[in-house]
Structure 1
Amino acid sequence: MNDMNPEMAKEIENFSEWVLQLGEGKLETKIIIDYDEPDWIKIPDDLLLQNNGDSIQQIIDTIYPDISNRFGEPNYFKDRCILTPTNECVDNVNKEVLSRIRTHSRIYASADTISPMSD
């Protein structure tokens, strides 16, 4: 964080503190339905995306802006990610992200054993 401006550093610090409070169960909770437990939290508006009908498209557009032109930049993928709750959702996001990258695909072979000839 040495090369970022003070405003960005403060924003990251505030977000980190919010995530820490969330993980420790220290955020104020609310009851949404009368018979429900008070286990709903208020997520800050600046962390929310408004639903435009296609949530995967919207998330990708937000996290990876101009991906088809910027995917080759050294830090483009390093500086961002999308976390999902299930492998099925990961597969859907990955397929959509890869469909936006116009380049030749490559398949790399791997092995899970060591060759006996490697000595």
Structure 2
Amino acid sequence: MGLLSDDKEYVDGIKEATFWTFDVGDGNVGELNDGCVLVDLPPSIIDPMLDNPIASIVHEVYPNLEKRFNDPSYFTERVILSTINEVMWKLNGYVCSLFPREEHVYLSADSISLVSQGNDSFEQLYLPEFLNSINSSSLPPHRLVLKVGMPVMLLHNIDQSAGLCNGTRLVICHLGMYAIQAKALSTSNKDDMVVIH
């Protein structure tokens, strides 16, 4: 495997990070492993922007985003995935802050559907503040902030026949009060305009 960089310092850093990673995996770094171990990173592989890891990740994956945000093809070549919702929302918030457009905030509905007429115990038990605080991978967030030009990824199947499936990537073209118009980036319907309610 060859490296594409002629920068000796960069190549040496990659080598050191690779060997260090193998040592960690082999149990040669850190304390005795009882399931939870603290491991010190060597200074040579610490990113100088590590005081802000979210910014570091975004600027590594999306270099020059401030200059290329109008180019949809720029977003088809890169994506940041996270297995933890909290990290994903921080990443999304930071990327959103880099877009020089007006933000639109969408809020979820915050009321309980009553099972039977006259039963108000659900409303007393589940206050809107509690409902709005629920953070689950199976539910959308209470507060969703979007801007025109932002890339987004669908997390649920909406319309499989139209190619709007979990994992479909889109770029936002228009934000309305009750619907979002977007252009497909990653499906067989690439560049098709879709409306999501």
Q: TM-score, normalised by structure 1?
A: 0.53
Maintained 8 Å contact 1:29/1:42? no
Partner of 1:34: none
Amino acid aligned to 1:96:
Y
Provide structure 2 residue ranges, at least 5 long, that are not aligned to the other structure: 102-147, 164-197
Residues 74/8 of structure 1: CA separation in 2 closer, same or farther (3 Å cut)? farther
Which has the higher Rg, Structure 1 or Structure 2?
2
Partner of 2:149: 105
Whole-angstrom CA distance in 2 between matches of 1:87 and 1:27: 30
Partner of 2:20: 18
After superposition, residues 1-119 of structure 1 pair within 5 angstroms as: 1-5=2-6, 6-29=8-31, 39-46=37-44, 47=46, 58-63=52-57, 64=59, 67-69=65-67, 74=74, 78=78, 86-102=84-100, 104-105=148-149, 111-112=159-160
Whole-angstrom CA distance in 2 between matches of 1:95 and 1:108: 14
Maintained 8 Å contact 2:31/2:37? yes
Q: How many residues align?
A: 102
Provide structure 1 residue ranges, at least 5 long, that are not aligned to the other structure: 31-36
Whole-angstrom CA distance in 1 between matches of 2:38 and 2:24: 11
Determine which structure has the larger helix proportion and give its number: 1
Determine which structure has the larger strand proportion and give its number: 2
Amino acid aligned to 1:105:
G
